[in-house]
Homo-oligomer: A and B are copies of this chain.
Amino acid sequence: MSAQPEPTIHRSLLIIGGAEDKMGRATVLRRFVRLAGGERARMVVIPSASAFADEAAEVYADVFARLGADRTVTVDIQSRAEADRTDAGCGAAAIDEATGVFMTGGNQLKLAQLIGGTEVGRAIHRAYERGAVIAGTSAGASIMSRFMISMGDEGITPRQRSSQLTAGLDLLPDVIVDQHFAQRTRYGRLLSLVAGSPALLGMGVDEDTAAEITDGRVLTVIGDGGVFIADARRAVTDAYEAAEDAPLLVSGAVVHTLPAGSTFDLQTATLMSFSEMHPDVDMRRSEREHPDGSAPVV
């Protein structure tokens, strides 16, 4: 009698550019529910970035239930002391039981200041490492970066000091995440950031669009818009000396606009494949790449 092979655990992030569809096909949130285990999913919603945390948590619990996942716990952290609790019934304990963790939109700086370096932050990392899917939209997307955009200006032209980096949750060490990318015209600020930190990739996610990232490396695009990648590793720039607010020289950056169906290797910064398939078809294809043996386990 041979032993069952150990299931392979894949680490999964679902980085959503904000304003994802909740009432219609809900392609992006449907993908989240599927990755979290569908009917067997145990969801945690962290609405602490939002100024309307209760309402946000309720909306997502309802959508997840409509999409087949009816067990959602809200972990609404409003102080670092609360985030550091370790007793039974605390937020970190709920996250330790989850197959899917969802961080809502709002203010990423507030969220990072509440949970960064706390027990809740560590519980999210534990969940990620054991294969639970970690999702976030808008502010909840930004916070996944090690270097988090906390604020910045709109526009196409990269300008000196047009945005601020602070410490994020560090689920994605080498990529700066931006969201509402096309809708809020964030090309310039993302380019200015990678010009200043060329070792990092810039990733801008459009609204109602998600970057699904497997094992920290393979990006698959889901949803209606595009995911933009900026690679300034070989660019020439004057970011070290330009005056405040001056247009920056950024010459030779490599950019990628990736619609649904694209897969991209974040380590080599190259396109892996692209299919013109309908998003639903593409989702089924992605599911084949996550066979049952690789489903999240707790």
List residues of A whose CB falls within 8 A of some B CB.
155-158, 181-182, 185-188, 191, 204, 206, 224-226, 228, 236, 238, 241-242, 246-260, 262, 264, 270-271, 274, 276
A190 to B: closest C-beta gap in Å: 10
Task: State whether B156 touches A185 (Cβ < 8 A).
Answer: yes
Task: State whether A257 touches B225 (Cβ < 8 A).
Answer: no
In the complex this chain forms, how many copies of it are found? 2
**Which B residues are CB-close (under 8 A) to A246?**
259
Task: State whether B256 touches A250 (Cβ < 8 A).
Answer: yes
Task: State whether B259 touches A271 (Cβ < 8 A).
Answer: no
**Which B residues are CB-close (under 8 A) to A185?**
156, 185
A191, A226, A238 — which one has the most chain B CB atoms within 10 A of its CB? Answer: A226
**Which B residues are CB-close (under 8 A) to A186?**
156
Supply 19 A–B pairs (Cβ within 8 Å), ascending by A. Answer: A156-B185, A157-B225, A157-B226, A224-B247, A226-B247, A236-B271, A238-B259, A238-B276, A241-B276, A242-B276, A246-B259, A247-B257, A247-B260, A249-B257, A249-B259, A251-B256, A251-B264, A252-B254, A253-B256
**Which B residues are CB-close (under 8 A) to A276?**
238, 241-242
Task: State whether B258 touches A251 (Cβ < 8 A).
Answer: yes
Task: State whether A271 touches B251 (Cβ < 8 A).
Answer: yes
Give the distance in Å from the alpha carbon of A54 to the alpha carbon of B136 in the complex: 56
Task: State whether B251 touches A257 (Cβ < 8 A).
Answer: yes
Closest Cβ neighbor of A158 among chain B residues: B257
Task: State whether A255 touches B256 (Cβ < 8 A).
Answer: no
Task: State whether B241 touches A248 (Cβ < 8 A).
Answer: no
Give the distance in Å from the alpha carbon of A271 to the alpha carbon of B238 in the complex: 12
